[in-house]
Amino acid sequence: MPFVKEKFHIEEEVIAFLYVMRTLNFTQGQAQRHIAKGRLLIDGQSMTHTGKMVKGDIEMVFFRAKGRGENALFHNKDFMVFEKHSGVLVHPNTMATPYSMLDEVRTLAGDNANACHRIDMETSGLLLASKHKTAERKLKKMFETKEIKKSYLAWVDGELTESFSSYESISVNKGGYETTKHKVFIDPDGKASHTDFTPLTYDEKLDATLVACYPHTGRTHQIRVHLFHVKHPILGDPIYGATYEASDDYLDLTQSPEERLIQHGASRLMLHAHSIKFTYGADYYIESKSDFRAMKDLICEKDKRVFNRG
């Protein structure tokens, strides 16, 4: 379990956030957030006052990385790139999360290492992570200023024959999950979004097209909703392209593997982060070693799948 609870004894009275900083090698901000989240306990009760003086026996809950031996595809003194498998979170979403890519990142590079961008749990492919705080700040800023270029591969429902671009604006769903499970929507009043798409190959037997995707903005679920909008949703997408009932079953964890395959068109989201390109002192272009094209074996036969093209 990455989050552990351990007992500590404080001999001399000290300000709470200072003790956390020294003990867990945190910055002041990290220590104050740690306490504010209730992860310092006295007599079994969370103490959230960061400036309070503490002494004696306490407990702290903190993240302790436990990697599973996933080696970085590339690394240097500042950053590393991993191949993330579908179904693995980048960061733990609760203290009960048994494993995430953060375990591998910090097992390799220590407690100040961190993932620098998001990848959906079911998306596979390249994950860029920093080895220290200076690199983290710089790389995250480069994502914000679009200095880091990514490409994806996707297996989509139906045949696509021509390259195209989507400039459809996207809004986050503020509610209304009673009729749809979509997290974002195409909305003319939403945030500007841009993705280029190029079809690579069509599998007639599966009625599926392998598509290269080039996002120029970084909106939530951007590639997924742009492809759904043109009625070629990504196969295996449990949200966009699925019925309300099928999405609900998936989110409630009540869907069997057989139902997942038939109701969503594949046993996983068929989206893969394929390459990443940026300049960080030198020019870097890193490409996934995974054979995503061969992963079409995970797609349900076209005559058996139940799919909603919108």
Q: What is the pLDDT of residues 210-237, one digit of tens each?
A: 999 999 999 999 999 999 999 999 999 9
Contact yes or no for 169/193 (Cβ under 8 A): yes
120 labelled catalytic: yes
Would you state the pLDDT for residue 309? 56
Which residues face 186 on adjacent strands? Answer: 170
20 and 102 housed in the same domain:
no
111 and 198 housed in the same domain:
no
Among residues 120, 207, 237, 249, which one is catalytic? 120
69 domain-assigned? no
192 and 266 housed in the same domain:
yes
Angle at 242 between CA 236 and CA 244, to 5 degrees: 140
307 domain-assigned? no
18 and 125 housed in the same domain:
no
Q: Exposed, middle or buried, 211 (CB in 10 Å: 0-12/13-18/19+)?
A: buried
Contact yes or no for 237/244 (Cβ under 8 A): no
Would you state the pLDDT for residue 161? 96
Instruction: Tell which of 114, 144, 174 closes a domain.
Output: 144
Q: Domain holding 133: CATH number?
A: 3.30.70.580
133 and 165 housed in the same domain:
no
178 and 277 housed in the same domain:
yes
86 and 173 housed in the same domain:
no
305 domain-assigned? no
Would you state the pLDDT for residue 99? 94
State in Å, rounded, how far the first CA of the chain is from the last one: 41
How many domains does the chain contain in total? Answer: 3
Contact yes or no for 240/234 (Cβ under 8 A): yes
Measure the CA–CA gap between 39 and 61, rounded to whole angstroms. Answer: 5
Two structure tokens written together for 169? 């604006």
| Residues of the chain falling short of pLDDT 70 | 1, 307-310
Would you state the pLDDT for residue 26? 86
Query: Kind and range of the H or E element at 171?
Result: strand 170-172
Measure the CA–CA gap between 26 and 37, rounded to whole angstroms. Answer: 15
306 domain-assigned? no
193 and 119 housed in the same domain:
no
210 domain-assigned? yes
Contact yes or no for 135/148 (Cβ under 8 A): no
233 domain-assigned? yes
58 and 79 housed in the same domain:
no
Query: Kind and range of the H or E element at 208?
Result: strand 208-215
Domain containing 126: what range? 74-144
Contact yes or no for 77/40 (Cβ under 8 A): no
Would you state the pLDDT for residue 1? 54
**How far does Cα 169 stand from its chain's mean position?**
21
Would you state the pLDDT for residue 76? 97
Would you state the pLDDT for residue 175? 76
What pTM did the predictor assign? 0.88
Measure the CA–CA gap between 92 and 227, rounded to whole angstroms. Answer: 28
Alpha-helical (H) ranges within the chain are: 16-24, 28-36, 101-109, 133-144, 222-229, 244-251, 257-264
